[in-house]
Chain A
Amino acid sequence: MMKSKMKTENITNCIKWWLIALVFLLAPVPPASGLVLAVHGDLQLTTAVMCESVHNYAPIHPAVVFPIQRGRVFCFTEFASISSQTRVYHKWYRDDRLITNQRLVLNPPRWSSSTSVQLRDADKGPWRVDITDEAGTPIYTLRFSITD
């Protein structure tokens, strides 16, 4: 009688742990930092910064003002909750004029990627990067300036 009761209890605990494990498995993967900048469908934008460089899949010296002598500026983005291979775009504008449109391919479940532009003297002024989906729908906008 005692044995039978213990056996039933073990089965119940086993199911409980299985259920807990299932919930964890099925639950969406939270971002590393825990902050979501924008949500676009299933897609979550967790990081979006302008930076001086990218090292080991991480932005170095995020900023909003870049001196021209740095020579290059990067746009670093990190997405989570990627259910299938997805394309996004980094559209670089200077004074509201499109300078370059760069395509990025995101792979599940998380993906970080960056684009950059080479700076010339004529590039001083206000810039922005529109992060859009494949259809051109804006997901997030980053604004920065190139200065002396």
Chain B
Amino acid sequence: MTDFFSFASGFRWQDAVDILLNSYILFRLYVLFRGTRVVRVIMVIPVVWLLERMAVYLGLIITAWGMQGIIAAAALVIVIVFRNEITSVFQTRGLKSFFWGIPQRQVHTPVDMIVESVYELAHRRLGAIIVLPLKKAIDTIVQGGVAWRGKLSREMLLSIFWKGTPVHDGATIVQGDQVTDVAVILPLSKREDLPSYFGTRHRAAVGLAEQSDALVIVVSEERGSVTVFQDKNIRPIHDNIELGRILREHAGAVTQNGGLKRQTMELALAAMICFTSIAGIWISFAHGLETLISLDVPVEFMNRGTGMEIFSASVSKVDLQLSGSGGLIRSIRPDQVKIKLDLSHAVPGKNIIPISPESITLPPGIKFKQAMPKVLEVHVDKLDQKDVGIQVDWSGKLMEDLIVESVRVVPDRLWVHGASLILKDIETIYTEKILLDTITDTGKVSVHLVLQPALALEKDQKSRVEVMYEVRRR
């Protein structure tokens, strides 16, 4: 019970959106592909995943490895094997149907008109072959044909198959209420168990039915009989009622309340499975085994005032301790974790800036535990320049009877740049040490200046000066 409340308290609105959005996407994919073999194959993947988990649990190394391989390759295999179905779905369904609506399969097919036309053709002993494709595209299976794109009517079908017309010898493709192509050549079946009275027309119908999910109606010219071919089934039709029923089933039209109820139940079950699956995945990711991680994260400074420079920080990286489910922790990329410290209130000098949870950016589902160090000491200052004197730094021991009476440095003053607070305490820049031990007479020497690391000379300024000294005896 405590675990449940702990879980509920950590649930964010983003998590709800995450689960619902992905459940809906999964459900829409099911709606688009339902009825196709793609869905049936995809359903195998969770089963393989369960087997893989069981294999891991039982310590079956090779089995687990094999299952993982199958799951990893599944997406690619599905796309390659079912490319025709997938292409067909995306061609026949628009972008709008991906987001909304339950596509009805060819509900606009005028079944009664087709039945009436077929029996009229049979009555007149006019040979005919009518193809009603379903989901799978048949463009790559059939050959030739003449594009027709005419609205379907009884008279049109009779005209197409009337003896002597240029297009009567071939199949007619009907999609919805449109005759899309006529005089189409279908692939012939190589089956040897077909009845002997089947001619080329019947063999072509069997050939197409074998390779697609289309329904093919054949009217025999010799006997005036009607036969329907679907998958590997050959169904002689005895009356128009039977033909109408078969066509309605093929078109997917729901004619009875029971059918509508069944469809609603199917979709509701699918929606529930989608939601449960995504919620399960989310829980396993977001609330799996709590894992701790320690990361060294570089510190970024923002909102630095105009002219302000960061001269030093106590640390450049902060050790962050984060927690979350193992999956989420393992998927953290370095660029997803950031520490951004606000310097908008920083003043010249030393600033103590706490590392608060608000200054840390984390990927969703990851929690901040603690930071080491908890505060950062940042030295911020304005860049400034100052005119300072140059002084010789003598060292060593001068001979006792000598006096260095005067010294002249050229130049004797210089402009130096640096942090204003450092410059404030600096009045003099010293030369490198000049040894007195070797000096015996008046002379001249060129020496370097010794600058603090935080200071710099002007760009065109040399870091050497000339020192001229006068020595006399006591």
A residues near B (Cβ < 8 Å) are 61-65, 67, 93, 96, 125-126, 128, 141, 143, 145, 147-148
Contacts and interface: CB of A to CB of B under 8 A. Distances in A.
Given A96-B426, A126-B428, A128-B428, A63 B393 contact: no
A93 B406 CA distance: 19
B426 A65 contact: no
A148 B395 CA distance: 7
B428 A65 contact: no
A90 to B, nearest CB: 16
A148 B397 contact: yes
8 contacts: A64-B406, A65-B394, A67-B398, A125-B393, A126-B428, A143-B392, A145-B395, A147-B396
B474 A147 contact: no
B389 A147 contact: no
B404 A65 contact: yes
Interface in B179-221: none
Interface residues of B, number: 23
Interface SS of chain A: helix, strand, loop or mixed? strand
Interface SS of chain B: helix, strand, loop or mixed? strand
Contacts of A65: 394, 398, 403-404, 436
Given A61-B474, A65-B404, A67-B398, A147 B436 contact: yes
A148 B403 contact: no
Given A96-B426, A96-B427, A126-B391, A147 B405 contact: no
A137 to B, nearest CB: 14
Contacts of A145: 392-395
Interface in B403-418: 403-407
Contacts of B391: 126, 128, 143
A96 B424 CA distance: 11
A71 to B, nearest CB: 15
Nearest to A145: B394
Contacts of B403: 61, 63, 65
B3 interface: no
B358 interface: no
Contacts of B469: 64
B460 interface: no
Contacts of A125: 393
Contacts of B428: 96, 126, 128, 143
Contact of A62 (B392, B393, B405): B405
Interface in B150-172: none
Given A65-B436, A126-B392, A141-B389, 17 more contacts: A63-B403, A63-B405, A64-B469, A65-B403, A65-B404, A67-B397, A96-B425, A125-B393, A126-B394, A126-B430, A143-B407, A143-B428, A145-B393, A145-B394, A147-B436, A148-B395, A148-B397
A31 B77 CA distance: 107
A126 B425 CA distance: 16
Contact of B396 (A62, A63, A93, A148): A148
A74 B198 CA distance: 134
Interface string B231-275: 000000000000000000000000000000000000000000000
The 6 closest A-B pairs by CB, nearest first: A145-B394, A65-B404, A148-B397, A143-B391, A63-B403, A64-B407
A23 B243 CA distance: 143
B449 to A, nearest CB: 13
A126 B403 CA distance: 16
A147 B427 contact: no
